[in-house]
């Protein structure tokens, strides 16, 4: 590829970037070997929280600081997931059951709440 073709690809990639057509921009920047454009695409992916995609693009760009920062972010996420897994019960493990304690009064009120006041009146007639 001659320099004119490379410049045209970079310009086209920049146009795609402005239009937020990132896949097309990426294709242009890869074909042109344009490291700054690749870093910009990686930054977009990083901002979108697509850290794995960002890392792949940063690796293509050869930008050591961005590669390091992205790898550290991914490692922190994996670490968080592993810590969360420690608090979850293992597969097949049963969590202890915590019973609900109801008083006799609570039980008596359950029937009256479901059937309305007519249940209470029936109960009153039986008691006399």
Per the domain annotation, does 29 fall within a domain?
yes
Per the domain annotation, does 80 fall within a domain?
yes
Per the domain annotation, does 104 fall within a domain?
no
- Cβ-in-10-Å burial (0-12, 13-18, 19+) of 70 comes to buried
Per the domain annotation, does 25 fall within a domain?
yes
Q: Does the pTM exceed 0.85?
A: no
Count: domains in the chain: 1
Per the domain annotation, does 124 fall within a domain?
no
Question: What residues make up the domain containing 80?
Answer: 3-87
Task: Residue 31: give its domain's CATH number.
Answer: 1.25.40.10
Per the domain annotation, does 54 fall within a domain?
yes
Per the domain annotation, does 53 fall within a domain?
yes
Q: Each residue of 49-87: pLDDT tens digit? A: 999 999 999 999 999 999 999 999 999 999 998 888 777
Q: How far apart are CA 18 and CA 118, in angstroms?
A: 72
With bands split at pLDDT 50, 70 and 90, how would you rate the model's confidence at 32? very high
């Amino acid at each position: 590829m001659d320099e004119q073709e490379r410049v045209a690809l970079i310009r086209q990639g920049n146009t795609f970037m402005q239009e937020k057509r990132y896949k097309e921009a990426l294709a242009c920047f890869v074909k042109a070997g344009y490291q700054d454009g690749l870093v910009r695409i990686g930054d977009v992916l990083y901002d979108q929280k697509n850290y794995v995609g960002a890392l792949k693009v940063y690796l293509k760009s050869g930008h050591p600081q961005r590669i390091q920062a992205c790898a550290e972010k991914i490692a922190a996420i994996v670490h968080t997931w592993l810590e969360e897994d420690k608090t979850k019960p293992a597969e097949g493990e049963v969590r202890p059951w915590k019973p609900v304690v109801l008083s006799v009064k609570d039980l008596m009120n359950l029937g009256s709440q479901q059937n309305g006041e007519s249940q209470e009146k029936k109960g009153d007639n039986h008691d006399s």
